C-alpha cells in the first residue's frame, strides 16, 4: 500500500489497486464513442439518399454500404471479447492481484483495441486489423493467466 495513492486496504488484508479499474473506464468510454458514431453515419447516409430509413427496419439490409455498417460491426466487436477483459480486471481488483504487469497488460489491451477500431473504422486493412486483434488477445490471455495463478495460489493459504 505504501507509495501508491490508488491502493486501498481491503477488509481481508489484501491491497486493492484502483489502477486496474482505469482501463475499464477507458475502454468503456471508447465503446460509447463508437456507439455515437453509428447514428451519425446512418443519418448522414439517409440524408444523402444513399439508403433509406427502412434499410434499418430489421437490423441492416444488404443495401447498406460498408462505410455505414462498419461502425455497427465495430461496436459489436467491442461488446464481445472485451467482456472477458472487464471480468478479469474486476477479478484482479477484488482479489488484490492488480500488479504492475497486470495494469500494463490491461492498458496494452485497451490501446490495442482502440488501434483495432481505428483501423477498422478508417482504412480497414485486414492484416493490420488482425495484427492488432491478435496482440490484444495475447494481452487478454496473459491477464487471465495471471488472474488464474493469483486465485489458485491464494486459495491454498
Separation between Cα atoms, residue 121 and residue 74, nearest integer Å: 8
Is residue 157 included in any domain, yes or no?
A: no
Would you say residue 80 lies in a domain?
A: yes
Domain assignment present for 2: no
Residue with cell 484502483: 18
Q: Is residue 156 one of the residues assigned to a domain? A: no
DSSP H or E segment with residue 17: strand 15-17
Count CA atoms within 13 Å of residue 136 on its CB side.
Answer: 24
Which residues partner with 8 through β-bridges? 16
pLDDT in tens, the chain (157 residues): 445 666 655 555 455 789 999 999 999 999 999 999 999 999 999 999 999 888 888 878 888 999 999 999 999 999 999 999 999 999 999 988 899 999 999 999 999 999 999 999 999 999 999 999 999 999 999 999 999 999 998 766 5
Domain of residue 41 covers 15-151
Q: Using an 8 Å Cβ cutoff, are 109 and 136 in contact?
A: yes
Task: Report in angstroms the alpha-carbon separations of 2 from 8, 13, 80, 81, 120.
Answer: 10, 14, 37, 34, 42
Instruction: Say which CATH number the domain at 62 has.
Output: 1.20.120.550
Domain count across the chain:
1
pTM of the model: 0.89
* DSSP per residue, 73-89: HHHHHTTSTHHHHHHHH
The span from the CA of 51 to the CA of 67, in Å, is 12
Q: Is residue 10 part of a domain?
A: no
Is there a domain that residue 7 lies in? no
Amino acid at each position: 500500500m505504501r507509495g501508491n495513492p490508488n491502493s486501498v486496504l481491503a477488509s481481508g488484508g489484501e491491497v486493492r489497486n484502483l489502477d486496474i479499474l482505469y482501463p475499464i473506464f477507458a475502454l468503456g468510454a471508447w465503446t460509447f464513442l463508437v456507439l455515437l458514431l453509428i447514428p451519425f453515419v446512418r443519418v448522414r447516409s439517409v440524408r444523402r439518399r444513399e439508403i433509406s430509413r427502412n434499410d434499418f427496419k430489421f437490423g441492416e439490409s444488404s443495401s447498406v454500404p460498408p462505410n455505414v455498417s462498419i461502425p455497427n460491426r465495430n461496436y459489436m466487436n467491442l461488446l464481445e471479447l472485451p467482456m472477458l477483459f472487464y471480468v478479469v480486471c474486476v477479478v484482479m481488483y477484488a482479489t488484490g492481484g492488480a500488479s504492475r504487469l497486470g495494469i500494463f497488460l490491461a492498458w496494452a489491451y485497451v490501446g490495442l483495441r482502440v488501434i483495432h477500431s481505428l483501423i477498422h473504422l478508417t482504412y480497414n486493412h485486414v492484416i493490420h486489423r488482425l495484427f492488432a486483434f491478435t496482440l490484444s488477445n495475447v494481452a487478454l490471455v496473459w491477464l487471465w493467466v495471471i488472474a488464474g495463478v493469483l486465485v489458485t495460489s491464494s486459495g491454498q493459504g
